[in-house]
Structure 1
Amino acid sequence: MARRPTIKDIARQAGVSQSAVSFALNDRPGVSTDTRARIRRVAEELGWQPNSAARALSGERSGAVGLVLARPAHTLGVESFFLQLVSGIQEVLAAGRIALLFQVVEDIDAECAVYRRWWAERRVDGVLVVDPRTRDPRPALLEQLALPAVLVGGAGGGAHSSVWADDARAMTRILEHLHALGHRRITHIAGLPGLAHTARRMASLRTEAARLGLGPDRVRSVVTDYSDAEGAAATRRVLAEPEPPTALVYDNDVMAVAGSAVAAELAIPVPDRLSIVAWDDSALCRVTHPRLTALVRDTAAFGRLAAEELLAVLAGGPPRLREAERPRLEPRESTAPPAAAY
């Protein structure tokens, strides 16, 4: 039966002692340059890899970082954001031959339990923490555990590095665009209310609406769980009101497409009687008819930035706040001036 090669196998093949193999593979003195090179060549030929569990028990790094998503599982399968984020993260980690340990849990308490278990088992060298909360227990826990971390989407501060995007300015740009077209009744179909970036978007919407002279009866936010089902349900509710909005802003592409389908079902033409904006651009936004106006950003680059910052922290770097490239609004056929009679 095939089995993993061991230090003993390498020693036998190279004609040296097991202690010599250990010295060579761990970059310790005690063997000559030629012997070290021969041992490493044999190890590569045999396909030997270090045992991460043994390395962790010896106090060395595990060679892995962790990522936990505390969201309802049914909301992840259709949303492209996390797939693109993880692809960017993985691109950086793979170049450094670092593994990504990934887990989905139901809530924040379960996520904290995972961090405690990973710390106790020395499973990861650090973690990427996504979806920062307005009241977030995770930074304090990670500081207590002395587990290096980078907050992805956090506003910075404290003992941990953060990478973030300017959600407030992006929301301002959306509202400016819709207001310039003549929209005065605008509803934001938001995501999960406890997330820090959702709070920033909602606060920015209120601030910009007030600056433009639009009260909360005309510009407001409605929270959902990011799913297409809740996005569609929220769309039905607001469009059934006596004075429905003339423009809808959705916190992701999936809800925007679902909202567009609801409008078609209700015989409300887009954009003649209803304008639609999606927060994150994707292929869904570009193949839907009409194509959806959307915020365009390089989510994979955001993931790369987060992974690079975590590697910098693991190398001993200080906590930093790093801003990703600001999203830009891409106007398409789903936004237009509202009909005068609507």
Structure 2
Amino acid sequence: MKKTRKLHASHINMSHGSGGKAMRDLIEDLFVSCFDNPQLNALEDQARFDLQSLQQYGERLAFTTDSYVVDPLFFPGGNIGTLAVNGTINDLAVSGAKPLYLSCGMIIEEGMPVSELREIVQSMKAAADLAGVQIVTGDTKVVPHGKGDKLFINTTGIGVIPQGIEISASRSKVGDKVIVNGYIGDHGAAILNARGDLALDVSLETDCQPLHELMSVMLAACPDLHAVRDASRGGVATVLNEFAESANVSIRLDESCIPVRNTVRGVCEILGLDALHFANEGKLVATVPADSAEALLHAMQSHPAGREAAIIGEVVEGPAGRVVIKTGFGGERILDMLVGEQLPRIC
């Protein structure tokens, strides 16, 4: 039997955050009807789980949270909703965890079209279903017009780490190889172009995708992954600087081995920016034992999310915390983490 739509307003107004009937209608019509699972449908103030159902996957919880403030809300290849779901899934995945449950907190600006909000919620549901996770609890706030820039989303995720997996930035070791799972900088370039400031007639699309299945493939090929992180804000350069600092090692990259699309490279050349600092929403960076690197690379390339995976450098002896890159001209330069603000509201 088809459910009767309770939300008749065309735009969000302050009553939708008041705690009364209008807010209840918003929650039931948009969120509960779309996400639709027993924990959420109970409409308690918290989601409740049987601990045994979690322990079947492993012995440790992974718990993460992130907030999303991208501008524009919709961009080629996704929107703020798909970004929020996949971004939080990936924060869990790079620890080796199996992602299971998400929360969703929304801060909505008065005047936002309900049709846009509904499309974003439906995109979140589709992304969650694709990854096999459930959105089980949440919160809604409405702020006055001009105080929220349409929509901010916070998602918190819970996953379980199987026994025997120890992935940490501090585990990077001299001799390790550095691997990325594909073209870098796609998301940052796509968002920049979607704002219309550059008026570039090029095809740029976000790389937003879940990485937990790729991580499963990687762990099957190399259970002793040392360090793995998704290269979102600050890009690959920031992640590798964090690895180098945490493990007190140096990292050397080879520019010729780093996969960058020609369109992204062109945007960087026009603006004087570096693709290694651009945000990604479907790319991870890993340091792995050298004797496992080739087998791992082949395993990654067998998965759609790792088809263009590449070994881009190695962990070396040298000044602790330093990342250097061999350039196409044969020289070397220090690759620092992102300093200051490169692109506003990128994720």
TM bracket, shorter-chain basis: under 0.3
Larger relative contact order (CA 8 Å, sep ≥ 6)? 2
TM-score (norm 1): 0.23
Q: Name whichever structure is richer in strand by fraction.
A: 2
Greater helix share, structure number: 1
